[in-house]
Amino acid sequence: MATVKLGLIMHGVTGRMGMNQHLIRSIVAIRRQGGVLLANGDRVMPDPILIGRNAEKIAALAQQHGIERWGTDLTAALANPADTVFFDAGTTQMRPTLLAQAIRAGKHVYCEKPIATNLNEAVEIARLAQASGLKHGAVQDKLFLPGLRKLDMLRKSGFFGRMLNVRIDFGYWVFEGDLQPIQRPSWNYRAEDGGGMILDMMCHWRYVLDNLFGEVQSITCLGATHIDRRWDEAGQPYACTADDAAYATAQLKGHNGEPVVAQMTMSWATRVRRDDLVTFHVDGTHGSAVAGLQECRAQARVTTPRPVWNPDVKQSMDFHDQWQDVPDTEVYDNGFKIQWEAFIRHIAEDAPYRWTLPEGAKGVQLVEAALQSWKERRWVDVAPLAV
């Protein structure tokens, strides 16, 4: 069977997510496994060119991972007809402009989320992609995590009965930079540079909620800037202008038409005492489950214990022991890599693919609704998005 090269322009892969998840754990891993297998037995081998502003940094990255092509001229890269796909993991503020430039150059496009910092730009770029006839996609990596795949299996089996609510608890303490080195970029905490918890995480929660629990109908949200002073990569103090935490409640229309309540707590100013950096707790009439990034534990209706409320006596029950592990029933590959393979098959053989730019625009829609709710201190309806 034949192996076909896929010319791929990768922009913004010197950053944490672009380098680790998209370059090393996705494209480099796909190349090492011999490409992406198609239905007819052929294979598609990604042939990336790395594009960045810092020539020394991008050259070193390419050499380290056995990639022959790199450069600093995006316009020249887009002019090469042999490179048919453009990927962006750079700054959110520049993303719509870069995607539009690539689409007008006739490239299929794939990008990190958010696809834009505001809904107008998100809808505009999604419509441009739709009208072009080119393939397009936005990263929705959480759907491919082992923990959420197990949770989805429980849902599809009818385990929950009538789903009642889901609670998403996300976050950890991001060091301020004065005592310990920072573990997130400083721009994350400056609104003027595209930072903010709501912009970063509401895009994730939109596709998680829509796909696993129910379509978002309305939301109420309170944002906060808990830490107002941090130190940047050079050790210089700066004022934090973006929200570093948010507390939201959403009303969903469940997959069977029933109402589902979703509560979302997200913070970069919290210390972790739970099973994982993010947990998804789902309650239903017939059972409940709690999933993290990798693991999932369930408790059925018939195995639910009978706690007794008595504040005068030390609690004797170990509530963690009353849940059953949902086992690994397959080998779970990297979630980013799985979606990359799906997008490559979508390009090469027109395989079904639903994680498109209009889906990415829905995430930005929920961001704006949450920000509006915070500003106006009220519930905001989330209407169907016409793209």
Q: What is the mean pLDDT of residues 93-121?
A: 97
Question: CA separation (Å) from 312 to 50, 306, 308, 317?
Answer: 64, 18, 11, 15
pLDDT value for 256: 87
Q: How far apart are CA 109 and CA 137, in angstroms?
A: 6
For the stretch 215-258, pLDDT in tens is 999 999 999 999 999 999 999 999 999 999 999 999 999 988 99
Q: Structural domain tally of the chain?
A: 2
Q: How far apart are CA 174 and CA 205, in angstroms?
A: 20
User: Does 310 reside within a domain?
Assistant: yes
User: Does 237 reside within a domain?
Assistant: yes
Q: How far apart are CA 146 and CA 162, in angstroms?
A: 23
Per the CB < 8 A criterion, the answer to whether 127 and 99 are in contact is no
Find the CATH number of the domain harbouring 311.
3.30.360.10
User: Does 383 reside within a domain?
Assistant: no
Q: How far apart are CA 135 and CA 156, in angstroms?
A: 29
pLDDT value for 130: 97
pLDDT value for 255: 87
Find the CATH number of the domain harbouring 87.
3.40.50.720
Note whether 211 and 340 are same-domain residues.
no
User: Does 386 reside within a domain?
Assistant: no
Note whether 161 and 72 are same-domain residues.
no
Q: β-strands 3-11, 83-88: how paired? A: parallel
For the stretch 275-288, pLDDT in tens is 999 999 999 999 99
pLDDT confidence of 110, banded at 50, 70, 90?
Answer: very high
Print the domain residue range for 61.
3-140+335-357
Classified as helix, coil or strand, 254 is: coil
Per the CB < 8 A criterion, the answer to whether 48 and 62 are in contact is no
Note whether 209 and 341 are same-domain residues.
no
For the stretch 314-350, pLDDT in tens is 988 899 999 999 999 999 999 999 999 999 999 999 9
pLDDT confidence of 16, banded at 50, 70, 90?
Answer: confident
pLDDT value for 266: 98
